[in-house]
Amino acid sequence: MSAARPPLATLLLVALNVGLYLRPLGSPEKTCLSVQGVWALGEWQRLLLAPFHHLGWGHLGLNMGALLWLGAGLEGRVGSAQAGWILGGMTLLGGLVHLGLNAGLAAVLRDPWRREHCAVGFSGVIFSLEAMEGLLAPVTIVTLGSVTITTKWLCLAECFTVTLLYPSSSLTGHLSGMLVGVALALAATPLGLATPLSIHL
């Protein structure tokens, strides 16, 4: 029996996040993702910078712990190369959806704060992974009589719990990640016939 391969794509992303925390390419104000910063000022590099910058060791540690757990599971099923493409796609798509969601909310609610709201951190990708995994391979958490609770809805509960515990966290960033994860899961499972191994970007 051969030894399991290390999750290279996940470990590379963790190393990149830790490295940029220790040696950031800019302050949070210069790297965070916002409608104002990207669309109004034309600073498109924020799409790549924002996910890899964090506000503190706690922020970084929670995100990297979740990435190691979820990313390693994904790599174990689809391999490092495909997992790298999926994680990269989640990173960029999550940022674009985040911008679109905040721009839409700013227009509908007539709330300019939505255009200025700025976010950093890898948690959007974490919520993408968790939403995708929850739909592709839901796991039963507990059964209470005739009610079964699965991981299918766990990321949604976590999203609102994080918002309640940390009101300054980016709700739209987390929701954007979840939307990307759901979209990828649906693309991977047309009519529910495919398996997690059929994920392609």
The question of whether 128 is a catalytic residue gets the answer no
Question: Position 10: which residue type?
Answer: T
CA atoms within 13 A on the CB side of 188: 22
With beta carbons less than 8 A apart as the criterion, state whether 17 and 54 touch: yes
Tokens 């190393």 identify what position? 15
**Is 198 one of the catalytic residues?**
no
Q: How far apart are CA 127 and CA 173, in angstroms?
A: 9
CB 71 within 8 A of CB 129: yes
**Which one of the listed residues 34, 123, 128, 170 is annotated catalytic?**
123
Q: What share of residues in the chain are helix, strand, coil (percent, to 5)?
A: 70, 5, 25
- Per DSSP, the three-state class of 46 is helix
The angle at the Cα of 100, spanning 127 to 150, to the nearest 5 degrees, equals: 25
The residues carrying an active-site annotation are 123, 174
